DNA sequence: TATTGTTATACTCTATAACTATA
DNA sequence: TATAGTTATAGAGTATAACAATA
């Protein structure tokens, strides 16, 4: 990791101008984080898909199960996908009989989306099984490590997901 | 999977049988982590793709730049994709003139993969630009938070990526 | 005119199965 | 027989542009 050198060692000690070391540190963290997210999302995707629904589809179903009802636009925002992608996802879920689309009361442009009974079954029964692989690993990691991971999860969400600019 | 209710809630308080609270805690962390990885990989992918190469392709180029030379099989392992996926990725990169495939000396079954000069250019010039978005956010998060993220990155890699079973 | 959603189009990402060539 | 890689096939994930309907 070779970060040799002290900060401010070249005389540029203004507080708001990051020193070379800090810049290196951020650069390296960024590269590691990028790679980790890319690879671990692949791994997780493969471990949380089932024959019934993919990881992405399950995420939509789980959101609907908690929120009761939503619209394609709200779901697209929540999942961070473009509207056409959500239209397609909902189309597949509807074909599979897991969600139902109906007219929005009051605003004819919008569409209401809700789980069917079958969709609710998939969420409730699938949840435990779906996260089993991840739970096993977290269990093995130990309490202290889970504490770090909980902090980091919240932090990553704030840093990557919720911030808007 | 349905492991029959909560463990430990019936008075079995052996130290290696996680209490109900711990089980709930792990379950919740697993669900949050799954969702975070799914969503943030989407976000990151959209912010690290360029016209030249996608996020995945860049990751392959960056690995080659550091390792000098590799084989399709080793790259597939490293990226956690199946062999046919790597074949296709390499095909596209080769078409674009960024990598070169050549006969493996000593083992005719294997193939050697290396960057072309053009591919090296893409890596070296693309690195800073590609991570700019992520670096800005990490910079804004502050030193203490980056420390947590560094710990968590290493921890997640050990927990999710490196463990084999 | 702005918003919501969909359709059309065109990629990339991904896996499994079957095949070829070499060891 | 086992290993490395590719081809064939199929489907999911993703985005932008163009369109329709409603507000």
Residue A18's closest CA among B153, B146, B123?
A: B146
Say whether residue B147 is in contact with chain A using an 8 A CB cutoff.
no
Q: What is the pLDDT of residue A18?
A: 59
Residue B135 pLDDT more than 80? yes
Residue reference for tokens 């636009």: A73
Query: DSSP string spanning A61-124?
Result: HHHHHHHSEE-HHHHHHHHT--HHHHHHHHHHHHHTTSEEEEEPSS-TT-EEEEE-HHHHHHHH
What residue ranges in chain B does DSSP mark as E strands? 69-70, 99-103, 111-115
- CATH 1.10.10.10 assigned to B55-128: yes
d(CA B9, CA A13): 58
User: How large is the average pLDDT for residues B80-109?
Assistant: 95
State the angle between helix axes of B55-67 and B20-48 in degrees (0 to 180), rounded to the nearest 10: 90
CB proximity B71–strand D (7 Å threshold):
yes
What digits encode the pLDDT tens for the residues B5-14? 333 344 344 5
Q: Rounded to a whole number, what is the distance in Å from the CA of B105 to chain A's nearest CA?
A: 30
How confident is the model at residue B16, as a pLDDT?
58
Cβ <8 Å between A146 and B30: no
- pLDDT at residue A164 in the model: 62
Structure tokens at A117: 């009974």
Residues B91-105 pLDDT 10s = 999 999 999 999 999
User: Is A43's Cβ below 8 Å from some Cβ in B?
Assistant: yes
Mean pLDDT check: name the lowest of A146-160, B3-17, B65-79.
Answer: B3-17
Helix or strand run (H / E) with residue A34:
helix A20-48
pLDDT for the residue B164: 63
Indicate yes or no: CB of B43 within 8 angstroms of CB of A160: yes
pLDDT tens for each residue of A56-111 = 999 999 999 999 999 999 999 999 999 999 999 999 999 999 999 999 998 999 99
- Over 80: is that where the pLDDT of B1 sits? no
Cα A155 from Cα A159, distance rounded (Å): 6
pLDDT score of A6: 39
Residue among B34, B79, B139 minimizing CB distance to A26: B139
Burial class of residue B71 (count of CB atoms within 10 Å of its CB; 0-12, 13-18, 19+) = middle
Query: Is pLDDT above 80 for B120?
Result: yes
What is the C-alpha separation between A93 and A98, in angstroms, rounded? Answer: 5
Mutate to test the interface with A, among B18, B33, B132, B164 (most CBs of A within 10 A): B33
Average pLDDT value over all residues in chain B:
87
Q: Do B146 and A26 touch (CB under 8 A)?
A: yes
Considering chain B, what percentage of its residues have pLDDT values greater than 70? 87
Average pLDDT, chain A: 87
Please tell me if residue B15 touches chain A, with a CB cutoff of 8 Å.
Answer: no
User: What average pLDDT does this structure show over B142-156?
Assistant: 94
Question: Which tens digit of pLDDT belongs to each residue from B38-50?
Answer: 999 999 988 888 8
Average pLDDT over residues B6-23: 55
Is A34 within 8 Å of B48 (Cβ atoms)? yes
* Choices 3.40.50.150, 3.40.50.2300, 1.10.4010.10, 1.10.10.10: CATH for A55-123: 1.10.10.10
């Amino acid at each position: 990791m070779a970060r040799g050198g002290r900060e401010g060692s070249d005389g540029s000690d203004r507080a708001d101008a990051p020193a070379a070391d800090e810049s290196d540190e951020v650069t390296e963290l960024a590269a590691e984080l990028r790679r980790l997210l890319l690879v671990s999302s692949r791994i997780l995707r493969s471990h949380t898909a089932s024959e019934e629904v993919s990881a992405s589809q399950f995420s939509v179903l789980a959101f609907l199960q908690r929120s009761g009802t939503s619209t394609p636009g709200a779901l697209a925002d929540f999942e961070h996908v473009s509207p056409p992608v959500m239209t397609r996802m909902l189309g597949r879920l509807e074909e599979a009989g897991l969600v139902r689309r109906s007219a929005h009361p009051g605003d004819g442009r919008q569409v209401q989306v809700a789980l069917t009974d079958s969709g609710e079954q998939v969420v409730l029964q699938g949840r435990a099984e779906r996260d089993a692989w991840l739970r096993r690993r977290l269990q093995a990691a130990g309490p202290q490590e889970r504490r770090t991971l909980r902090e980091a999860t919240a932090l990553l969400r704030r840093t990557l997901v919720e911030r808007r600019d």
